[in-house]
Amino acid sequence: MKLTEEQLKEIKDQQAQQNSTKRVVAPELEKILFEAIPILDHGFIRVVDYMGDDTSIVQAARVSYGKGTKKVSTDSGLIKYLMRHWHSTPFEMCEIKYHVKLPIFIARQWIRHRTANVNEYSARYSILDKEFYLPKSEHLAAQSQNNRQGRGDILKGEQAKKVLELLKNDAEQTYNNYETMLNEKYDGSVINEEGTGLARELARMNLTLNTYTQWYWKTDLLNLMNFLRLRADHHAQYEIRAYADAMLDTLKKWVPITFEAFMDYRVGGVEVSSKGKLVLNRIIKGEKITIEDSGLSKREWNELMISFNLNDKVI
């Protein structure tokens, strides 16, 4: 990731601000506020604002006037209870705003989470940066044979080199054409003094999906956790998972008690259906049970067995 001198100055100026407030603050999050955390090759994520902390959740749950209790253990117990029993409303009382720079194809996947306020960089008004996402060789993989949404074996040698060349050359060629149609260079200089450029809202259609865009993404804590539960999972696409992993770290700095409960009950926990519960009860009692008399499909059965490390029973 490479920030311009102007961007670095803006971040430095933001971090130099000294504002007094009567609101609660998260000391660990304050330390990285406005800082650009590098993601992928040219991307980043920044926390630019937030509201509330763990005590705000406790306050909302009790509808109290205070900021929680004097004992952290008491607040922790309540937050774990809320998380365990899916009492979600108190978590909606905290909000956070991120500034994100990401490839367009990841932005289109990300926007499927329709639970945030989003304001994206306008390519109708401004020229997009001349930056493209190019995967590292270890992330170049063939299509999975058994998962339509996943990756299979890693590409190697000349095959990997050829793919990277295609990605790079296509991105550069389409961007050059983009500048030609605009009659304007990335640095603002004019290509042809006598020419008239195509409207930016039309010229942008030529760009590849690995071109970087930027947006501000503001959401409440509940919906942030819903996003992270899916996107920080090992099944998620690597590129969006890279952003989610960085956001997990900001979550820990912001609301450490909630983070611990989230990792325990949401990320590390397992949901079991009523039929699955009956199967587990019979296994615990030492009864012999087969998939035929479990009432579960083969996929359900295998997922249940793997979740509880009963791999010898996987079919």
Q: Which residues are catalytic, by number?
A: 231
Interacting residues of 218 by C-beta distance below 8 A, sequence separation 6+ = 49, 95, 96, 97, 98, 116, 117, 118
Buried-exposed string 121-152: b where 16+ CB fall within 10 A, e elsewhere? eebeeebbbbbbbbbeeeebeeeeeeeeeeee
The alpha-carbon radius of gyration of the chain (Å, integer) is 24
Question: How many Å apart are CA 313 and CA 315, to the nearest integer?
Answer: 6
Q: Locate 300 and state its tokens.
A: 């359900």
Q: Locate 217 and state its tokens.
A: 């993404």
User: Which residue, among 56, 83, 104, has the nearest Cα to 212 in the 3D structure?
Assistant: 104
DSSP code of residue 257: H
Q: In what order do the strands lie in the sheet with 117-120?
A: 37-39, 43-51, 95-103, 212-220, 117-120
User: Which residue, among 261, 254, 256, 222, has the nearest Cα to 50 in the 3D structure?
Assistant: 254
DSSP code of residue 137: G
Q: Are 244 and 225 in contact (CB under 8 A)?
A: no
Side-chain-side CA neighbours of 239 within 13 Å: the count stands at 24
Q: Residue 213 pairs with which residues in a beta bridge?
A: 102
Complete DSSP assignment for 153-210: EEP-HHHHHHHHHHHHHHHHHHHHHHHHHHTB-TTS-BS-TT--PPPHHHHGGGS-TT
Q: Are 118 and 215 in contact (CB under 8 A)?
A: yes
